[in-house]
Structure 1
Amino acid sequence: MATRNAFEKILKTLEKPGGGEFGKYYSFTALDDPRIDRLPYSIRILLESAIRNCDEFQVTTKDVEKILDWENTSPKQVEIPFKPARVLLQDFTGVPAVVDLACMRDAMNRLGGDSNKINPLVPVDLVIDHSVQVDVARSENAVQANMELEFQRNKERFGFLKWGSNAFHNMLVVPPGSGIVHQVNLEYLGRVVFNTDGVLYPDSVVGTDSHTTMIDGLGVAGWGVGGIEAEAAMLGQPMSMVLPGVVGFKLSRKLRSGVTATDLVLTVTQMLRKHGVVGKFVEFYGEGMSELSLADRATIANMSPEYGATMGFFPVDHVTLQYLKLTGRSDDTICMIESYLRANKMFVDYSQPQIERVYSSCLELNLQDVEPCVSGPKRPHDRVPLKEMKADWHSCLDSKVGFKGFAVPKESQSKVAEFTFHGTPAQLRHGDVVIAAITSCTNTSNPSVMLGAALVAKKACDLGLEVKPWIKTSLAPGSGVVTKYLQKSGMQKYLNQLGFNIVGYGCTTCIGNSGDLDESVASAITENDIVAAAVLSGNRNFEGRVHPLTRANYLASPPLVVAYALAGTVDIDFETEPIGLGKDGKKIYFRDIWPSSEEVADVVQSSVLP
């Protein structure tokens, strides 16, 4: 049976800088094992959890030794137990877990017991974000209209979740319209360090959504799991996992002007898919880290499932602390987080010499080498440099049906489908954009790309460019914070002018909740067998996912989504061909509407405030 903790002798008190104490913690320094200094930061989180939960029943001293000896044990695929600090759910995959808890209460009642004893044993947060669809777009009241439809369709589910939030202790339900689960996790739910009953320990989380990894950008270990695993964690059971290898990913220099975090993550995704990181942690380090904002880190961490890793981890450093301050965490909390992580060898201070850590394998990227790009037409790791996009598109039309091919016969490639859109004559060709969506947890949480998109819209409006009325444009921010800084900057009106009105706060187009295309557009595509395109700032673009009628789907940064919406086609070379005609009939090129990194930084500086 469970006994006292075998490591209670290393339980130390963490003093406050001005006197008093934060609480007690299991001290790596007191363990006095030289192997700890060589461990990757991500493995140290697993180690701390094992030490703190070591009861010789669920977690044993042998398990702790396996993690301490990671350098030798990880190649042998040994299994370890892991008890995450909390669980994250969303409204698709999370509902069955809450239903099971309700069923347990029913069973307890039947057995004559106290059903109120059935509660999650660790904090559980459920965010409702997967239900909203883009039924209404390009309209001032789109948010209201889409939310009303969402509530009508999901009345029973929402009612049940509201009951659950009141009935269970340790469960928080974040209502519809608040934002995307992973963004809410970064801004609000992420603790970084817990203080429970006077014991301090690192935050860690498992979630029933594959992009739970976004929190890794905040230095919180987190990844997606199945519903049964999440339920087991909710009920205090340890997860059994293979002790993972860790790929060290060194970043150097800084991104060139005009290159976005999305370009970076698509490059990283391609590199890591090639390297092979399935079942492994990826840990980022190097002097390039100081040039990456927390939002950029979260973008890279978010796409871990696309590059195949369990986690893409960024240890806590000064950038993390600045973000915590920006998002309204109290000074006391931030002081506790920094003091604990420094005391327990989990804080990275780039001003001090770094002890060489051991990794299973290493990769390196000079951030100067990253160039503007998109990914597609059917897989997130099929990266296409922007300058090669037109040639790549024609190659896709020619090639046999596959990940990079549509097998459109040469004589049909210049086909024009004539149709009437609300009384106006219109045309569709292969590669024409019919959906342009600024969406998804990956990008809409990043002020530099969101305000970058707004700057593209402003320049385009000033020059007299417009988006064709049959393109379904939409903007679904990761949280209300985005709306606040877009309004503060005065830029939202330009996005609205181009049809990028806010349609809701949720996953929307990225998970296929793109809503219907206009009937005339849908008929033109199906009757003429047109390979229509969607351009979205999402993280997945498998055929049939975004919309049944868009066979080509490209992942791109929010500013590029706006640029492609203006061009109206992916069959364009932005270097040499104009995007459209301005007010006076003058040709407008991509370079005329693309903002520099300095312009973006200025707007971010003045608009993104605590």
Structure 2
Amino acid sequence: MASKDSFGAKSTLDVDGKSYEIFRLDKVVGEGLDVASLPYSLKVLLENLLRTEDGADIAADDIKALAGWDETAQPDKEIQFTPARVIMQDFTGVPCIVDLATLREAAAELGADASKINPLAPAEMVIDHSVIAEAFGTPEAFARNVEIEYDRNKERYQFLRWGQTAFDDFKVVPPGTGIVHQVNIEHLARTVFTREVDGVLQAYPDTCVGTDSHTTMVNGLGVVGFGVGGIEAEAALLGQPVSMLIPRVVGFKLHGDLPEGSTATDLVLTITEMLRKHGVVGKFVEFYGAGVTALPLANRATIGNMSPEFGSTIAVFPIDDETISYLKLTGRSEEQLKLVEAYAKEQGLWHDPAVEPRFSEQLELDLSTVVPSIAGPKRPQDRVALTDAKPAFRGALVDYAGEAQDTTGYDEAVEESFPGSDAPSYSGGNGKSPAPSDHLSAAPADGGRASDPVEVTLEDGTTFTLDHGAVTIASITSCTNTSNPSVMLGAALLAKKAVEKGLARKPWVKTTLAPGSQVVSDYYDKSGLTPYLEKLGFNLVGYGCVTCIGNSGPLIPEVSAAVQEKDLAVVSVLSGNRNFEGRINPDIKMNYLASPPLVIAYALAGTMDIDLFNDPIGTASDGTDVFLKDIWPTPAEVEQVIGQAIASDMFTKGYADVFAGDERWQNLPTPTGDTFTWDEDSTYVRKAPYFDGMDKTPSPVTDIEGARVLLKLGDSVTTDHISPAGNIKKDSPAGKYLLEHGVEQRDFNSYGSRRGNHEVMIRGTFANIRLRNQIAPGTEGGFTRDFTQGSDPSDAPVTSVYDASQSYQAAGTPLVVLAGKEYGSGSSRDWAAKGTALLGVKAVIAESYERIHRSNLIGMGVLPLQFPEGQTADSLGLTGEETFSITGVTELNDGRTPKTVKVTATPADGDVVELDAVVRIDTPGEANYYRNGGILQYVLRNLLNS
């Protein structure tokens, strides 16, 4: 706790007869210090330092450095940020609790009190990533999916219930409640936090770190929160501050109003494109200006949610009247509302649109220029105006189904039309055939025979023809949009108009609705719109991430078989935030992000090969063409329903007993005790191996000698490519492991649900079906070459990444990974680093990194190195067949962090390649983690020595 107050900042704030201790920002004065003009986000960090000043980790000089922030300078000053709380979801949270349970045992083995291992910051977990859309399109879908979820995850849920009783300040929101980020903004976030410290009630800005990169959604409420890896979150739980450099802050000025027809989704895709193009990795983004005042809180949260897609650390909005209105709507107490407003105004944290803070860089957007958009087919920053969606899809199809398609419209030389009688047929809906479509089968890139459309007959006798571009999943899912009533009710109104016209979803489309909280279902029911969604097949499948996290479940069986038979490039359209390759469904090659109304529109159209502005979306009951404009709701219609259907009591009732859970949760048998009794037969939860053989003092770090390349990868390799996610294949190393342990294939569940078992996760690391390892050309997925086999590297056989790593570890051979730009972008998946370390990888050499994954690698004792500016693996002639040595690492033993280390790559024959790789250990804190073999080892040793 803080023991210093160098600036005399400690004061009191009286609000409605209640007194709070606060640390006043305006007390930080002196030459060159201009606190008043700091961006909102840096004021929050400054308060954090004032309150936690202890003369050691946080000193007066740190406070001066932040208060005297030079907006033009590059980040070089490290500070220690102490978040008010930690927020987790179950995929990333279960490994955290496994590690804490293992830490307790390690502490006991080293002679310490196991109960010392306990959260020192409040921690809340929302179980939202485990429900899979197995059942869909029926009123029973939700109940059936929850039943399957509990059957599959009983071991994990029992373990979490143990954790909830064994650890102080750890609460679990049970399954079926909502998505972590929506629950966070609707209930858990305080905006201004209160906590009794040494008998005194303090008030200070709510801040958090989370084990999900989209923790930034809470930035819409003025909360400075961001995603960290699970291992860094565990350290925060145990009282360790988060080490960070004082960042550059990008000011994003908004003005104007969204035009009719454009949604919050279109706005966020536009901002994502702008900021990714500008370059904001490692920076704070802060929104300001008159346009902020007019922006509903739900839209702010939607923008904040997408911060990882920009690459920024946060994307924050300051506190204003709209913040207070939202807190009131969502059932926060009158006492909390008064405190938030009084504290924000007292500390200069209240937004004044006429005041322009200092920023490092600035961008500007006129909201009136935002147009309807989608993003895809594989990255959220690849925005496409809806007017260009059809030609853009055709242009992208070359990468998935063959040679380039004409992108200017219809071209009879490339395509053949379906004349009347040859049009695809289907029964259902109004019994009419869809509008004529273009045959998209393309000549494969290798010059082989074009893939023909395939006729499909469903179990009920429905027949249709399936081709490239067919929308096989249309899903309203993910926190990004399901927190936003305007787009959710807009989608429901569109569904109502479509049903009234006699339209139906195409029979090859799997339609799912997975809201972010139960409140969405409440206002759908109150508005009377639920039946229309269900008529189109958008029945509730669960309250969770579902499709966006890869829990889409299987396609319609006959559709899946046809896709696999003809290798069709079919499509998903989802209202999520991630559409990376291989993420959504293993049968689907192209994935597009869209607003909820557009998700329904594409379900009606059944294809991406459509101009939604000019082509009919279907045929009405009277035989006339129906266009999207005929069923698109007006803003006035949406606002009218919002006013009638949403009330504060929906939130207060829905969250009244949020941690209790339903009867199924409450009846789970719960283990007890300070330490967990591990079940050796469990395939879900196993004791982590990170502390095996650990001593009280760390061994010196060593140079890396005789290393081989496990993988050579290209640009934009995401944590989805690295970390195990989605389905587990029967013939994969993980699948074989489960079969060997008596688990039938139908019970494999997902990688995410088995994150508490390192044996499964190691086997799934680098096993994404779309991963392309350049040292195993011609393969796709988790394959490499094993250079321990064969007399010459060129003879090395192709095998799985896991099997090769086992050979290397048995031979005592360290491993390296070579990569391109933006290595580790995407979700804050700790298993992307944990799996890398457990495979025996000692160093990664990349052209550039995304922030969280680089930090996570260090947290697992893996050395992140960077190619010198302008150099790449290819420009240096590296094939991945070389033997590597990395020298100069031992400087870390002297308390120094070298700027570069010498990397020598020696081929079997040919010239040796040498380079001075940049060491991406960016702060002294990270150097300490690396010296200790990882962040958890560092924390444990500190606890033992305290």
Per-residue deviation at 1:510? Answer: 0.4
Q: Which stretch of structure 1 is more off in the superposition, 107-116 or 535-544?
A: 107-116
Q: Which residue of 2 aligns with 1:569?
A: 607
Partner of residue 22, structure 1: 19
Q: Does 1:409 align with 2:443?
A: yes
What are the Cα deviations for residues 237-264 of structure 1, in whole angstroms up to 9, with x where unaligned? Answer: 1111111100000000000012100000
Distance between the aligned counterparts of 1:212 and 1:276, measured in 2? 20
Greater Rg, structure 1 or structure 2?
2
Which residue of the partner structure matches residue 130 of structure 2? 131
- Once structures 1 and 2 are overlaid, which stretch shifts more, 27-36 or 184-193? 27-36
Q: Distance in 1 between matches of 2:157 and 2:590?
A: 34
Correspondence for 2:455: 418
Change (3 A) 1:88 1:399: closer
Indicate which of 623, 637, 640 corresponds to 1:602.
Answer: 640
SS of 1:315's partner is coil
Q: CA deviation at 1:413?
A: 7.5
Counterpart code for 2:478: S
* Deviation at residue 544 of structure 1 after TM alignment: 1.0
Cα 1:72–1:527 shift into 2, 3 Å: closer
Does the aligned pair in 2 maintain the 1:7–1:52 contact within 8 Å? no
Alpha-carbon separation, structure 2, partners of 1:293 and 1:554: 25
Q: Who is 1:388 aligned against?
A: 388
| Distance in 2 of aligned mates of 1:463 and 1:97 | 51
**Equivalence for 2:237:** 234
Is the CA contact 1:182–1:212 (under 8 Å) kept in the aligned structure 2?
Answer: yes
Aligned length: 604
C-alpha displacement of 1:397:
2.6
In structure 2, distance between residues paired with 1:14 and 1:587: 64
Distance, in Å, in 1 between the alignment partners of 2:63 and 2:401 is 51
Task: Give, in whole Å, the separation in 2 of the partners of 1:38 and 1:30.
Answer: 14
Q: Map 1:502-513 onto structure 2 (within 5 A).
A: 502-513=540-551
What amino acid does structure 2 have at the position aligned with 1:145? R
Give 1:92's aligned residue: 91
What aligned pairs does 1:482-521 form with structure 2 within 5 A after superposition? 482-521=520-559
The corresponding residue for 2:47 is 48
Secondary structure, counterpart of 1:550 in structure 2: coil
Cα deviation, 1:355-387, whole Å, max 9, x if unaligned, reads x31101000000000000100111111111111
- Contact 1:6/1:56 (<8 A) preserved: no
Letter in 2 for 1:383: R
Give the C-alpha shift of residue 145 in structure 1: 0.5
Note the residue ranges of structure 1 that are not aligned, 5 or more in a row. none
Aligned sequence identity (%): 52
In the alignment, the residues of structure 1 paired with residue 19 and residue 599 of structure 2 have an alpha-carbon distance, to the nearest angstrom, of: 47
Mean Cα deviation higher: 108-117 or 206-215: 108-117
Partner of residue 206, structure 1: 209
Amino acid at match of 2:184: N
| TM-score normalised per structure 1 | 0.95
Q: Which residue does the alignment assign to 2:480?
A: 442
User: Are the equivalent residues in 1 in contact too, given 2:387–2:611 (CA < 8 A)?
Assistant: yes
Contact 2:471 2:509 in 1 (8 A): yes
Q: TM-score, normalised by structure 2?
A: 0.62
Specify whether residues 362 and 584 from structure 1 end up closer, same or farther in structure 2 by C-alpha distance, changes over 3 A only.
Answer: same
Shift of 1:4: 2.3
Contact conserved, 2:9 with 2:50, CA < 8 A, in 1?
no
Secondary structure of the equivalent of 1:93?
helix
Contact 2:490–2:633 under 8 Å retained in 1: yes
Out of 277, 280, 283, the residue aligned to residue 283 of structure 2 is: 280
**SS of residue matched to 1:9:** coil
- Summarize the alignment of residues 233-252 of structure 1 with structure 2, pairs less than 5 Å apart: 233-252=236-255
Q: What is the alpha-carbon distance in structure 2 between the residues aligned to residue 413 and residue 206 of structure 1?
A: 50
Matched-pair contact (CA < 8 Å) for 2:604–2:618: yes
Letter paired with 1:308: G
Secondary structure at the aligned position of 1:94 is classed as helix
Q: CA deviation at 1:115?
A: 3.8
Separation in structure 1 between the aligned mates of residue 191 and residue 171 of structure 2, nearest angstrom = 18
Distance, in Å, in 2 between the alignment partners of 1:123 and 1:547 is 36
Q: 1:193 to 1:470 in 2, by over 3 A?
A: same
Q: 1:69 to 1:531 in 2, by over 3 A?
A: same
Q: Aligned AA for 2:456? A: F
Contact 1:397 1:407 in 2 (8 A): no
- The residue aligned with 1:375 is 375
Q: How far 1:112 sits from its partner (Å)?
A: 7.0
1:173 matched residue in structure 2:
172
Q: Is the 8 A contact 2:400 2:569 kept in 1?
A: no
Judge conservation of contact 2:401–2:568 (CA < 8 Å) in 1.
no
Secondary structure of 1:37 counterpart: coil
Distance 1:256 1:218 in 2: 24
Query: Is the 1:210–1:225 Cα contact (8 Å) retained in structure 2?
Result: yes
Q: CA offset at residue 349 of structure 1?
A: 3.9
Alpha-carbon distance between aligned partners in 2 of 1:133 and 1:264, rounded to the nearest angstrom: 29
Is 1:558 the counterpart of 2:596? The answer is yes
**3-state DSSP of counterpart to 1:257:** coil
Tell me the secondary structure at the aligned position of residue 418 of structure 1.
strand
Whether the aligned pair in 1 keeps the contact of 2:75 and 2:245 (CA below 8 Å) is no
Q: Could you tell me which residue of structure 2 aligns to residue 341 of structure 1?
A: 344
1:436 and 1:535 in contact (8 A); partners too:
yes
Change in CA separation of 1:112 and 1:395 when aligned onto 2, cut-off 3 Å: closer
Which structure carries more helix by proportion?
Answer: 1
Other-structure match for 2:799: none
Q: Is the 8 A contact 2:468 2:569 kept in 1?
A: yes
Contact map agreement 2:515 2:544 (CA 8 A) in 1: yes
2:401–2:569 Cα contact (<8 Å) kept:
no
Question: 567-576 vs 112-121, which deviates more?
Answer: 112-121
Structure 2 residues not aligned, in runs of 5+:
406-439, 649-946
Deviations 1:427-448 (A, max 9, x none): 1111111100000010111100
Q: Secondary structure at the match of 1:71?
A: coil
> After alignment, is 52-61 or 422-431 more displaced?
422-431
Say whether residues 1:151 and 2:186 are aligned partners.
no
How far did residue 134 of structure 1 move? Answer: 0.5
